[in-house]
Structure 1
Amino acid sequence: MTMANGVDRGPRGDAPAWRRCADNVVAAVTVLARPARIRPAERWLLPTRHLLIAALVTLVFFVVVMVVFDARASAAAGRMPRWLIDFFDNITDYGKSGYFLWPLGLLFLGLAALPPLTNRISQRVLAAIMVRVGFLFLAIAVPGLFVTIVKRMIGRARPFVTGSADPYVFSPFIWRADYASFPSGHSTTAFAVLVAFGTLFPRARTVLLIYAFLIAVSRVVVTAHYPTDVAGGALVGIGGALLVRRYFALRRLGFSVGPDGVPHQYPGPSVRRIKSVARDLLAP
């Protein structure tokens, strides 16, 4: 089985769809687990010293925002006009990861279940599509899973859980939704979507940025989170998606690491090529 840009597909044509799907999913996991294809020295863009400085600056930023803005922002949100609160309340759920992961996951499984193609170019086009769908799924799922676990370990109380906007209430490892404020899962998803889809579709970045910003603001307006919660979620979403992109690039799956050390996307299949694959699949 061979697949362009790194994922194998193509079990026997007479195999049932579920078997083709299972075989291709196993092949995809095998490819993802393979070692990186570049030297270890090329894997990080910043020296350790710079990373430590960046971490310290980030920590100071979060402490300052928590002390100065968190309680004030939550209190101010309760005084906003009802129509504005309702607007953000209506859109805030669009930051749930399920709106992206279910369609992407089902699309990947559907592609994996397709019958094998005899045309070499069509095989490579379909492989490239599967790599990109897999990237989008993991770039959203990985930071989302990380936040789901970490926020319950941190145990920060959501605004007004104790009757007031007190950003200093923590109950670590309590594993309750009302003590899972930091980081914001919705914000994590929104900014992971911004990076993941923005990487593959650069022209959509402005729309994606507006989407991510609105979701982040909505979490504060509906008093589900403090500003530091959404900032933390944004940081994890962006960082997590970038790490997934780099993981793919180190294995030359849809991306490569250029001489500048930055991941670059391989050219994707054109619309004409995709239409050609569709015709091959629909042909009797």
Structure 2
Amino acid sequence: MDWEFAFLDSIRDNFSNPVFDEISKFFGDAVIPIIIVAMILLIIFKKTRRTGIALLISTVSVVIIGNLILKPAIARVRPYDVNTAVQLIVSAEHDFSFPSAHTYFAFTTATVIFMRYKKIGICCYILAILMALSRMYLYVHYPTDVIAGAIFGIGFGIAGYFIEKALYNFISNRKYKAKHEKNE
């Protein structure tokens, strides 16, 4: 864990400035609501509905595993609770540190979108990386929290994509069989 504090302190010492403060606060405050709105919009429109459903499946899954199971089971305290000399520029979080929920939300979203729309997905991955960096810049997560969040996000994004695809194929096959049985 010593290397993690050295890394966090290095970010803080070398990059701390008012512009990065505001950018990092934006990622902490706005990105999850933006992801939720985007998911709803994707589900509403028929052309993007499958992507929205895949995102919903992966997001619900990663929240259940990450927030409801892993965070309480591991119960890792946040870096600012250990290094109390750090002056936070955001409100203290009220849950545990591992894994980073903001990071897995961002990477789950980026992965699902990338699976369907490569160019937009690359842009989403860039935003997900910025999200991950902002969590360390704000001193609310250790590097391993963010790495785990990214891995979980990518994994659950891929799983959500394939689960939606399997459900779609299953439903399509049932409709096809029902239609042909009706015509016989």
Inter-partner Cα distance in structure 1 for 2:130 and 2:10: 17
Task: Report whether the alignment pairs 1:137 with 2:56.
Answer: yes
- Stretches of structure 2 that go unaligned for 5 or more consecutive residues are 86-92, 171-184
- Tell whether the 8 Å contact from 1:101 to 1:140 is kept in structure 2 after alignment: no
Aligned to 2:121: 205
The corresponding residue for 2:39 is 104
State the match for 1:160 in structure 2.
80
Q: How many residues align?
A: 161
Aligned counterpart for 1:90 among listed residues 17, 22, 26: 26
- In structure 2, relative to structure 1, the CA distance for the partners of 1:102 and 1:208 (3 Å cut) is closer
Give the conservation status (yes or no) of the 8 Å contact 1:219–1:230.
yes
Q: Percent of pairs identical after alignment?
A: 22
Q: Equivalent residues in 2 for 1:53-202 (5 A)? A: 66=1, 69-79=3-13, 80-83=15-18, 84-96=20-32, 98-105=33-40, 108=43, 126=46, 129-149=48-68, 150-164=70-84, 177-202=93-118
Residue 226 of structure 1 corresponds to: 142
Stretches of structure 1 that go unaligned for 5 or more consecutive residues are 1-65, 112-125, 166-176, 255-284
Q: Following the alignment from structure 2 to structure 1, what is the Cα–Cα distance between the partners of residues 99 and 41?
A: 28
Of Structure 1 and Structure 2, which has the larger fraction of its residues in helix? 2
Equivalence map 1:252-263=2 (5 Å): 252-253=168-169
Q: Say which one has the larger Rg.
A: 1
Q: Secondary structure at the match of 1:223?
A: coil
Correspondence list, 1:10-21, <5 A: none
Q: What's the offset of the Cα at 1:88?
A: 1.9
**Structure 1 letter corresponding to 2:74:** I
AA aligned to 1:130 is R
CA RMSD, 1 decimal: 2.7
Contact 2:74 2:98 in 1 (8 A): yes
Distance 1:107 1:204 in 2: 14
